Structure 1
Amino acid sequence: MTVTIYDVAREAGVSMATVSRVVNNNPNVKPATRKKVYEAIERLGYRPNAVARGLASKKTTTVGVVIPDISNAIFAEVARGIEDIANMYHYNIILCNADKKKDKEIRVINTLLEKQVDGLLFMGGAVTEDHQQAFKTANVPIVLCATSDESEEIPSVDIDHESAAYDAVMKLIENGHKRIGMISGTLQDPANGYARFQGYKRALESSGIAYDENLVRIGNYRYESGSEAMQHFIDMEVRPSAIFSATDEMAIGAIHCIQDNGLQVPEHISVISVDNSRMASMVRPQLTAVAQPMYDIGAVSMRLLTKLMKKEHVEQSKVILPHDLISRQSVANISK
């Protein structure tokens, strides 16, 4: 038979109101009484009915998280930051994978809202009008995590992707590279794609290097697309001396393609990227990369959402976290 709050109260010799206060972490319970209630809960195997509690309080203490690709280590690190802060503030997480597909993102958003989540964290690509429409129907706070919308109407936490790409390409230029190829994400993606492409162009222009569209290949963030793009560059009559990749995974595909063609990194071609996932230090040579503070992006996003859910004062609804350039062994200095 299902154990009820009445059974726990009778076992502990206290009122049902006292059990309720203990279960809901109300501080107005004596330590000895709290201990007695917890012991009764453990003996009886009592589990609070989350649905009933939600109906009574109109809160489910649950947050929905839309993640673009659950197999990507970068997003896994963001999710860890989200979960750690959620646990700290006693929220549960419903994590949904959207496969970087707009239709699925919209469907997942609506499904989470139907489940009466108290708030929503959205990680994805472009925030389209369809996304905006789905968000407008929500009666709960929403925070964009590792992305942002052009209107800047929705609270968000991210890095400056254009600046991150600029710093990466400038690292190559400072090391004497002038013919620099780029393996880009889709330009419809405002962050990992378009913004990083703009940072690449700005670095070239600020250094007096003409932009050449033949030195840009569009990938899909996967290892295979990095390898395919690199093969294109190797087959060019005059190949680039360095490659800037929009993501680590494509960069590693490029490194392996270079090596498969009998060339070496960085002796023949240098490679740099943005992300600094765990893979960056696993590949050989280790990958020089601009580091996104992925755990912090997740943690700060969740903390911002808790403030919005609790209707606390928020000083800044658009948060830009700093990035850092981690130098390893994949970039050669050819200016000497």
Structure 2
Amino acid sequence: MEKQTVTIYDVAREAAVSMATVSRVVNGNPNVKPATRKKVLEVIDRLDYRPNAVARGLASKKTTTVGVIIPDVTNAYFASLARGIDDIAMMYKYNIILTNSDENGGKEVQVLNTLMAKQVDGIIFMGNRVTPELREEFKRSKAPIVLAGSVDAEKSQPSVNIDYVAAVAEAVKNLIDHGNQKIAFVSGPMDEAINHDYRLKGYKKALKDAGLTYDEKLVFETDYTYKAGQALEPALTAAGATAAFVGDDELAAGVMNGLTDAKIDVPGDFEVITSNDTKLTELVRPKMSSITQPLYDIGAVAMRLLTKLMNNETVEENTVILPYGLMKRSSTK
């Protein structure tokens, strides 16, 4: 006799909730009380209800699916990481669900819930900040979560990065060695740990080591966009800066072109060094000097670390720091 197909109606009846609630749980809608979600998922598990291919692994408790949360799918930095993640995922026969969180804290919590409701076996999070709300969700997650190219000052999650403090310090020292006394620090929002607790720390360290005074007037907080960088020229000139360290390649391209439009010669009158060494550094003129990061490797190592955690293998080191370099091109002397 053929086994009868379990329907959404059966799940709703067993869990004593409406079909709409079951549907919300299955589709990862955040408007479900945690206790209700738990109850519905238990019934789904027990009845072996398979809403579609996504849930086919519920019986074995494994879906061989990994969720990847990316803040901006159009940013070359995150796109390069995603390639590394994807290749290793394929090697270990995992499917990927890629979600875009628009660098929006509320949306990050929502996509995280969506992925959990899809019963993913693990999650790779790439975001510019780990908010307290997000940290709470991380704690609730049964699936392991690895941060790739994202910093968590509390080190509560496994992560793969470079030493951002040392890298920025070395980049800024390079500008100081070229005789620059007033170096601008241009970055995205300062409430992001990567900017405030890492990059700015590296910048301050380089100044201190060289006996230069830190001046807040040389710190520019803006958006990670080309337009934002382009608009900075008058402020950089007014501050008397002769060089800049920039925390994002697209932003740096904007800074450089804004200077060039104002007839300021790069690198003759103003040097620019950027931080991610994405393809953009080679596409602009002059080509941009940059901190180099093994972007593909950060993604690949994060995915490999996740496979170990998903299979309960022992992990020697939860925080993986990969080597960085400094690529000198034509935007510095």
TM range (shorter): 0.7 to 0.9
Question: Which position in structure 2 is the counterpart of 1:227?
Answer: 230
CA distance, structure 2, for counterparts of residue 218 and residue 157 of structure 1? 25
Residue of 91, 94, 99 corresponding to 2:97: 94
Q: Distance in 2 between matches of 1:102 and 1:138?
A: 17
Answer whether contact 1:123 1:147 (CA < 8 A) is retained: yes
User: Contact 1:248–1:275 (CA<8 Å) still a contact in 2?
Assistant: yes
Aligned residues: 282
2:245 equivalent in structure 1:
244
* Aligned-partner Cα distance in 2 for 1:249–1:201: 23
Whether the 8 Å contact between 1:63 and 1:117 is mirrored in structure 2 is yes
Matched letter for residue 141 of structure 2? A
Unaligned runs of 5+ in 2: 1-51
Paired residue for 1:122, among 121, 125, 134? 125
- For the residues of structure 1 that align with 2:302 and 2:171, how far apart are their CA atoms? 25
2:181, 2:145 → 1: CA distance?
43
Matched, 1:154 2:153: no
Structure 1 residues 113 and 51, CA gap change in structure 2 (3 angstroms) = closer
CA distance in 1, matches of 2:101, 2:70: 6
1:172-183 to structure 2, matched below 5 A, reads: 172-183=175-186
Amino acid at match of 1:91: Y
* CA–CA separation in structure 2 for the residues paired with 1:292 and 1:260: 29
What amino acid is aligned across from residue 87 of structure 2 in structure 1? D
Q: Distance in 2 between matches of 1:92 and 1:282?
A: 33
Give the secondary-structure state (helix, strand or coil) at the position aligned to 2:256.
helix
Give CA-to-partner distance per residue, 1:290-326, whole Å, 9 cap, x none. Answer: 0111111100000000000011111101101111100
Q: CA deviation at 1:244?
A: 1.1
* SS in structure 2 of the partner of residue 280 of structure 1: helix
Of residues 43, 46, 60 in structure 1, which corresponds to 2:63? 60
Report if the CA contact (8 A) 1:272-1:289 is conserved. Answer: yes
Q: CA deviation at 1:193?
A: 4.7
Partner in structure 2 of residue 21 of structure 1? none
Q: 2:212 is matched with which residue: 202, 209, 212?
A: 209
Amino acid at match of 2:61: K
Structure 1 position 259 matched with structure 2 position 260:
yes
Q: CA deviation at 1:194?
A: 3.9
**2:329 matched residue in structure 1:** 328
Structure 1: state its 5+ residue gaps.
1-48
* Structure 1 CA distance for aligned equivalents of residues 55 and 272 of structure 2: 56
Letter in 1 for 2:160: V
Amino acid at match of 2:256: I
Q: What amino acid is aligned across from residue 217 of structure 2 in structure 1?
A: N
* Other structure's SS at 1:57 match: coil
Preserved contact between residue 55 and residue 63 of structure 2 (Cα < 8 Å): no
TM-score by length of 1: 0.81
- The letter for the 1-side match of 2:314 is H
The one-letter code sitting in structure 2 at the alignment partner of 1:166 is: A
1:5 alignment partner in structure 2: none
- Matched residues in 1 for 2:137 and 2:315: separation? 23
- Residue pair 2:185, 2:220 contacting (<8 A) in 1 also: yes
- Tell me the residue number matched to 2:86: 83
1:40-51 correspondence runs (5 A): 50-51=53-54
Name the SS for the 2:72 alignment partner.
Answer: coil
2:297 equivalent in structure 1: 296
Instruction: Tell me, in whole angstroms, the C-alpha distance in 2 between the residues paired with 1:303 and 1:292.
Output: 18
Task: Trace 1:22-41 onto structure 2 (pairs within 5 A).
Answer: none
2 CA distance for matches of 1:313 and 1:164? 30
Taking the aligned partners of 1:194 and 1:304, their CA distance within structure 2 comes to 25
**2:199 maps to which residue?**
196
More divergent stretch after superposition (113-122 vs 221-230) = 221-230
1:19 paired residue number: none
Paired residue type of 2:128: G
Runs of at least 4 residues of structure 1 off by over 3 A? 49-53
- Cα pair 1:289 1:326 within 8 Å, conserved: yes
Q: CA deviation at 1:151?
A: 2.1
Partner-residue secondary structure (3-state), 2:175:
helix
Are the equivalent residues in 1 in contact too, given 2:277–2:290 (CA < 8 A)?
Answer: yes
What residue is the counterpart of 1:316 in the other structure?
317
Q: Give 1:229 shift.
A: 2.1
Q: 1:135 to 1:260 in 2, by over 3 A?
A: same
Shift of 1:79: 0.3
